[in-house]
Each structure stands twice: as structure tokens, then as C-alpha cells.
Structure 1
């Protein structure tokens, strides 16, 4: 089941969607947040384990753009809690693809949070993965 809602409450905060904007009304949490009405995520796809965090995100078909770039910061994680200063590996792969369209390493901030910069999101589903090395 695909749902949309407040990204911070759903386990991830997406900031800086280029050219989108708008307001999302949370169906899951009953609130509102400044975010993109074109950017959705699959709650059922979230993986939150001690060694990795994953989520599938995508642009809805009605979005006027084929792609956008976002900064992505997983929040409200339960099990995936890297320490401050830890270097993590991340990938962005189209659903069902063998090879990612983006990948790299990122260092956690002083709070153990990780922000992936300029992640490309498309109308096809993108699987975002962050793993401890």
C-alpha cells in the first residue's frame, strides 16, 4: 500500500525539491508539512536495520517534471543509528535495476544524521540505500 504523509514523521526528511514545492496533507499522521505534493514514498518499503536504512521514493505521474533533485536526511530511525563522524556508503538505484544511478560515501554529522545531497528522484521508483561500511 502506498501512502503519503509528513516526511519527518514517516522516517525521512526530504528538503530542497527543485521546482516542486506545495503542501502535503498527511494521511498517516493527520498533520501538514511544507513539502512536495509530487514526491511520494512507500512506507512498506522502509528497511530500518542496525547496518542499513532503505526507502523507495518517486515522483507521481502528474508531476510536470520527469525528475527532481532533493537533499535526503533519514530521521526518526529506530534501529539504524550510526555514530557521529561515521562514513557510510549510499546508493540510488531505479527499482529493479542492477546498477545505481548515483552512489557515494557520506559522513554523519555530530548528531549521527546523514544528509544525501542532490539525490535524483524520477517518476520511476528510486531505491535509496544507506549502509554502514
Structure 2
């Protein structure tokens, strides 16, 4: 009876098992191809065919907390100074891009400018209160 495999070629399942074993041992695709006498593309295809699909995450990851506002310089997470009306929150959510969650750039710039003005007014009021509560250095030096 004639030999059915005169060139010594292996069947696909055996070859893929050998490729997987060599890949798991840390061999590169080029080294595996040279050792088995096959092309690098064949090694790549065999590795792709034998890799297990990634296991699904058991639970979706929680979104990362928002970073501090870049203008605040604070290391703590931002917080709301005032409670927002639910209708305002709904309106902002409706205006946000559903793919990115970002507000349109002109609206975001307008909100940022208004918030910066409010922050400046708030800081000025706090500074005035601090100055009013502090005894004047010139008056105490004269007395």
C-alpha cells in the first residue's frame, strides 16, 4: 500500500496543536514557521483559530469618577454647590451627544463662561467678607 503522506505534512488539527504549544512556550511566529516548515501567515491563522475568545466580564465596570475641574486646582472630586432642578438636568441630558455624552461646543463654552463669572463673583464676595471680619492693620497700629 502506498504512503498517503509522502511529504510528511501533518493534518490541520495536529499542526494547529503544535503551533499553539510552541506559541504558549513563547516562540515567535517566525520561529514557529521555521521549525514546522510552514509560512508565517499560516502560523498567524492557526494561532488565531486556536485562541479562546476572551471571557465576558461578569459585571460591567463602573464609570471612572469625574476628574476635578481643570480651573479649580483641587485634588478632590467636584461637587455641586447648589442643588439643580431635575428639569435642568433633563434638559442638559437631552442636549448632550448620545455617543460621547458631551455638550455641543458653543453651549459648553457659554456655560463655562457663565460659571467662571459666578465663581469670580463668589470669590470677590468671600474676600470682602474676610476683609470685613479682619481688624484693619493700619487702625490697630495707630491705637
Higher strand share: 1
Please tell me whether Structure 1 or Structure 2 has the larger radius of gyration of its CA atoms. Answer: 2
Q: One fold, TM greater than 0.5?
A: no
Higher helix share: 2
TM-score, normalised on structure 1?
Answer: 0.22
